[in-house]
Every structure is written in structure tokens, then in C-alpha cells.
Amino acid sequence: MPDKEVPISHIHEMFKKGELTPVELVERYLDRIKKSFAITNSFIKVFDEYALERARELEAKIHKYEELPLLFGIPVGIKDNINVKGFATTCASRILSGYKSLYNATVTDKILEQGGVVMGKLNMDEFAMGALGNYSFYGPVRNPHNPEFLAGGSSSGAAASVAAGEVKVSLGSDTGGSIRLPASFCGVFGLKPTYGRVSRYGLVAFASSLDQIGPLAGNVEDLARAYVSIAGYDPLDSTSVDIEQHHLSGLMKEITPDDMVLGYPDIVENARMDQEVKESFFNLLSELTNVGFRVKKVSLPHIAYSVEVYQLISTSEASSNLARYDGIRYGFRFRGTDLEKVYNKTRGEGFGEEVKRRILLGTFALSHGYYDEYYLKALKVRRLIKNDLDESFHDADLLILPVSPFPAPRLDEEKDPISLYYLDLFTIPSNLGGNPSMAIPWGKTHDNLPLGFQIVSPLWREDLLFNFATYFEKYFI
């Protein structure tokens, strides 16, 4: 059974030689899902019959291809805030229970065009609001490496399903680190593309100026195939940018260490971090220096305000975006005759505690008398953070920094909701600036849980991320 480290190109060779068929592959992955689901809780819904029928269709026309499409016959998981026509989209929330999507998200169509087999919808933090994977109406997602620990969020099921070998690649969304953080906790690769690179049409909005869809995978080649498959201009998304797209061959080039400067932000030295995470990161910098990379400290003076800026902007946008969920047209609805009570009860019982907390924070920030003091000021500091990032790339080709200040916490560990916001300290700046960023697995904790780091590139330079990751995977993993 091909595991997560075996690249898709190898599976395609097996298809061509008749050593494996798409149906056999999907059956094996479905069997693995059944065996591990009770441990990970990574899926909200598995599309058993749909996936097998899709595999049979692909198998019948495999002879028509001289070169197989990028994801031909490959099991793919979709985060449950991305639409798949005819299936439920719940965002892991009670308030969307019973709702079925009437259309495919653009990325879903692109996955299908490249021959992917959608295996089901993946668990997540409710409406993508969370860093650990424990804010789901369907229960928390557990870490495949040790189910006593959490998988990270909000794309918790997307990371856990890849790490557990339940799918080959998955799609998640990243608003403040929601792909990279669970990727790091689960020991897989995760990419947040440049804002505007991948269509958001069919993605349920959390914070529209920050949300971006991206792939997760167990190796660099699979991540690149998924990324190339979903990237591209989409007239249905007003934030989509018509720009030249990357090709697989260009992403898989290997860089030369002495040609690349890596900059680490000065905040890493003084930030409150777990000692294991800090030691692992600085050991990594030493090892990269030893093989020829030039590593230097860079100044990002406004990055210290990232968490506060992000919370003001994201909660403000969330309070606006989530106003549409009232139970009147679809989803969960409190039954009653008093309209005001129906609204209050529907939203009060339909939304989880974290979602309600963020709606309240955002509504306050946008309220009369506070808009200029909070939301508008946050937008101004966001510009300063973006300027810092742009300026840093005059001195470095890539930025390198930890993904999370702390490793995955235990499932039963008491968690203060406000302090958890600081788990995104190192991931948020990429969302505020729109920059692409990739989480790369490296190292272990004393509990044998994965650690990782992230690299950030200038806008539209995903190729630099993949070129570095190709080298790193070959010589370090």
C-alpha cells in the first residue's frame, strides 16, 4: 500500500504497468479510513460509493491518456468549508446541519479535472475558527502520531487524514495559519499560496481579506501536483489575480544552498516559546548554515502586533460574513413563532462558543464609536506589517521561522481561548501580507510528536518555496 512518502508519479507508473488500478487504490484507502477513523475523527463524511464509482470511471478510460493528469486516480480529502456539489457543507457547525451544496467550489472542479477522487469532507474547527482542531460540532480531531494529543487547526482533518494515510493529498484553508499549524503538528507539508493565486469561489468565508485555499501532502511532489492543479485565475472570484502560473517542472527544481539567503525574524529570539521548539529551530538554522545557506537575522519591527491586528480584522470580517446564518433559509433552525426569539435561539444554539466569541469581538470592533479606534487602526498597522515583509526580501530570498511557538497540546489539557490566539504569532504575518508560506516537517518532541518550520517568500514566488523544499526533503528528511 503506497504511503504518504511515496510520490504520485510512482503510483502513476504502477497504474501504467497494470500493477495497481484506481479502484484498488481507492478501496485500500477506504479500508484505511475505516480502520483509523475511530482514532483520528478526521472525516465528517466519507463518500464511499461516490469515490468507488469515480474510480471505476477513471479506470475505464485510463488507456486514453499518454500522460496521466496530475491527480489521476488519487484519493483527495476536502475540508468541510469547501463546496462539493450534492454533499453537505457544514463547516463543522450545527447551524449548517442538513445543508447540501448546490455547486462545486472552483478548486473542487479543478481537482476533478485533474483526475482526483474526492473521498469525503474533512473535520475542522467550526467555521475555520481555531488553532487546535477542538472546536468542531463533530468532536475534536486527534493527532495520528498520538491520539492523546490534538491535530491542530483549523484544517485539522486535512492534516490528520494525510498523516494517517487516509488520503494522498487534501485541501484546507488558511486564514491565520490554519493549514500550516496542523501540518506542523501532524508532520506533513502544507502550503498557503499567495492571496489571489487560488480561487476562493465555493469557500465558505471566514475573513474574506485573509482566507486562502491550499493543499497538504506527505511529500513535496504531491504538494506541488495539488498546488498546480488548483491554482489559476477564476472570473467567479473578484479577488483572483490573472497572473502566469507555475508548472510542475519549475517547482521541482533543486536550489543551490550558497545561492540563497535565509532571513529569520528578530522576534523569534525573544518570543515566548516552548524550549524544545526554540532549540529545534535554532539547531535547524545551524544545520542549514553548515550546508552552505547564508542565514541572517532580519528586522520586522511591527510583527509583534500581528496577533492583535489579525484578531480585530478577522473577527470584524467574520461578524459580517456570518450574519447570513439565521436558520430561515437553510440549516439548523429553532422552531417557534416569535421571530426575534427564533433568530436569537437559532444563532445561540447553532453556533459554538468560539464562533460566538469572535462574532461578538468583531461586532464590537465595528460598532459606532469604536470603528476608527480599533478596526481602522488595525488596517493601518496591517499595512506596516506588509511593508516590513516587503522590505525584508531586499535582504533575504526567503524568511524562515517556526510555525507555532508550542507543540501539539494534549486533548484533555485545559486551554485558555485568548492565550490560544498567540499560537498563530508566526503564521499570521503571511496572511496579513498575502505572502505564500509553506510548513515543512522537521524534528520531534520528547513525546515523539512532529515539529516543523515554515518558509515565506515574496508575493507570487511559490516556486522559491518549492525549490527550497525539494532540496530540504532530499537532504534533511
Catalytic residue among 36, 154, 156, 392: 154
Q: Are 166 and 42 in contact (CB under 8 A)?
A: yes
* Cα dihedral 69, 180, 467, 299 sign: positive
Quick one: residue 44, left, alpha or beta (phi over 0 = left, psi -120 to 50 = alpha)?
alpha
Tell me if residue 298 falls in helix, strand or coil: strand
> Which one, of 76, 79, 85, lies nearest residue 117 by Cα?
76
Q: Return the biggest CA–CA distance within the chain.
A: 71
Which of the residues 79, 110, 121, 192 is marked catalytic?
Answer: 79
DSSP 3-state of 386: helix
The answer to whether the beta carbons of residues 182 and 152 sit under 8 Å apart is yes
Active site residue 178: yes
DSSP assignment letter at 89? -
Task: Please identify which of the residues 155, 178, 280, 306 carries the catalytic annotation.
Answer: 178
d(CA 417, CA 429): 20
Is 79 an annotated catalytic residue? yes
Grid cell listed for 449: 510528536
Q: What is the DSSP letter of 231?
A: B
Phi, psi of 309 (to 5 degrees): -60, -45
Using alpha carbons, select from 61, 82, 83 the residue that is nearest to residue 72.
Answer: 61
* Burial 411-426, CB ≥16 within 10 A → b, else e: beeeeeeeebbbbbbb
Active site residues: 79, 154, 178
